[in-house]
Amino acid sequence: MANVKLAVWIISIITVLCLADSIIIEIQKSANNGNQPNFCSIVDKNSNCLDVQNSQYGKIFGFDNAIYGIIGFALLLISSLLYITISSRISGFMTAAGGTIAGIMGIWFIYVQSFILKAFCSLCMIVDILSIILLIPSIYLFIILIRKIR
C-alpha cells in the first residue's frame, strides 16, 4: 500500500508542476500583444512558442490547449489528493486515467511539434515531457487497482 501512496504522491507533485506550467503558458499567451518578447523567447531564443500556440493545433473547439491543461491538471490534482486522503477506488481510477490521458496527450503534442509544425515551444515541451512521465506511476496505479478487484 505504501508504494501505491508513493505513486499517487508522485502523480500529485508532477501534476502541480504541469498545472503551474499550463497557467504560465496561458498567462503569457493572453498577455502577449505581439510587440514584446514572450516568456519562452526569454528562456530559449530558439523557442517558437507563439508559432506553436497560434497554429491550428493550439486550440481545441476554440479554446487554448492551456485552458484544457489547467482544467485537466486541476481535476487530476483533486482526484489524486482524494485518493491519498480517503483511498476510494473511484478516485484511484480517476487519477490513473487522468495521468494516462495526460501522458498520451503529451506524446501527441510532442509529435505535432516535432513532425508537423517543426517548431518547438519550450514551456509546452516541459508540460508534455512531465505528462509523459506521469504515464509511469499512472499505469502502475492502474495495475495495482485492477489486481485489487480480482
Q: Which pLDDT does position 42 carry in this prediction?
A: 57
Assigned domain for 134 exists: yes
Cell numbers 497554429 label which residue?
Answer: 55
What share of the chain in percent tops pLDDT 70?
A: 88
- pLDDT at residue 2 tops 80: no
Structural domain count of the chain: 1
The overall average pLDDT reported for the chain is 89
pTM, rounded to two decimals:
0.89
Assigned domain for 83 exists: yes
- State the residue range of the domain holding 8: 2-26+38-149
Q: Residue 22: how many CA atoms within 13 Å on its side-chain side? A: 24
Question: Rounded mean pLDDT of 65-76?
Answer: 96
Assigned domain for 113 exists: yes
CB atoms within 10 A of CB 31: 10
Assigned domain for 33 exists: no
- 3-class SS of residue 57: coil
The CATH number that applies at residue 132 is 1.20.1440.130
Q: Which pLDDT does position 52 carry in this prediction?
A: 85
Assigned domain for 31 exists: no
Q: Which pLDDT does position 149 carry in this prediction?
A: 81
- The band of 74, judged by pLDDT with boundaries at 50, 70 and 90, is very high
